[in-house]
Amino acid sequence: MIDVLLKTLPFFGLIGLGYGAARTRFFDEIATAHLTKFVFYFALSAMLFRFSATLSLAEIFDARLAAAYLWGTGFVYGVVMAVAFWRGLDTPTAAIEAQAGSIGNTGFLGVPMLAVLLGQDAIGPIILILSIDLIVFSSLLTILVTGSREGRSKADVVRSIGLGLVKNPMITSISLGLCFSASGLHMPDVINSFLTTLGNAATPGALFAIGASLATKSAERLQIAGWISFAKLILHPFFVACAAFYFFRVDPYAASVAISASALPVAGNVFMLAQHYGIAPQRISAAILISTAVSILTVSLIISAVTI
């Protein structure tokens, strides 16, 4: 575990650097917002496009892996929602807690970190997992939240889902990259160099932005945030591991990537969704803060366990 921890520390160190810069007001909220936008729309999109353009759909889509990840994530989603209903919460609040408890920071943290720790062969499974998170579970959240509110027709729900997918640059860049790959065209060296240079900014930029955004979050309702963090950091990888190894017999390497991705802390975009819908943003903010801090140890432990 110590070897893996030492390899993950530089990544979390960049998060800590961003946190410190924002906490001391050297990097203000406006700067953080612009850095996040640059990473999200440009650097990370360039990285995902270049990765996807070098892979075929067959290299990304693994039916067993997709089924195992869907089953494991869906089970945790259901558990967190059931606990929320048991506490007397309404459907939108239960759905946002379930989203936080089962969707990790695969885009900003998982793509750059796991590709380095687990090797370039991890890129295909990571893209598959990221696509499932964005397409399946983000759509599920939209259905649960908008569908439970009065005055929203089925057409409104479908429109919200469609617009959300089309406007997400990660989905767009992955789709365009796969289309380019399927075309059989050769990417000119100058364009590949451009995308590589721009994409290289994704790792430090994304990690710094994560830390800077954490500095603006408050740790309120710690008991609930602690439960959500436990579900994300422990229950999620555990049930994905059960599904991968015992139910769907996933290739060991692909399973290790899925389990490692499942161990990542709560995704930052869940907070944005909570703010957008006006549902418990402080609770999700605290869960992101706690899960990211604790994941320094838990991610290292889980990655070391699955890569033995």
pLDDT in tens, 42-89: 998 999 999 898 888 888 889 999 999 999 999 999 999 999 999 999
CA 136, CA 146: separation in Å to the nearest integer?
15
Q: Are 60 and 127 in contact (CB under 8 A)?
A: yes
Residue 163 has pLDDT above 80, yes or no: no
Instruction: Give the per-residue pLDDT at 156.
Output: 64
Q: What percent of the chain has pLDDT over 90?
A: 46
Instruction: Give the per-residue pLDDT at 120.
Output: 85
**Domains held by the chain: number:** 1
Question: Range with the lowest mean pLDDT among 54-58, 61-65, 119-123, 190-194?
Answer: 54-58
* Of 153-167, 246-260, 263-277, highest mean pLDDT: 246-260
The number of CA neighbours under 13 Å toward the Cβ of 50 is 22
31 CB burial (10 A radius; 0-12, 13-18, 19+): middle
223 CB burial (10 A radius; 0-12, 13-18, 19+): exposed
Structure tokens at 13: 């160190």
Instruction: Give the per-residue pLDDT at 165.
Output: 67
pLDDT in tens, 6-22: 888 888 899 999 999 99
Single pTM value for the model: 0.88
β-strand partners of 266: 104
**Amino acid (1-letter code) at residue 20:** G
- Tell me the average pLDDT across 286-304: 91
Q: Does an H or E element contain 220, and which?
A: none
**Amino acid (1-letter code) at residue 50:** R
CATH number of the domain to which 218 belongs: 1.20.1530.20
Domain hosting residue 103, numbered range: 2-306
Q: Are 222 and 286 in contact (CB under 8 A)?
A: yes
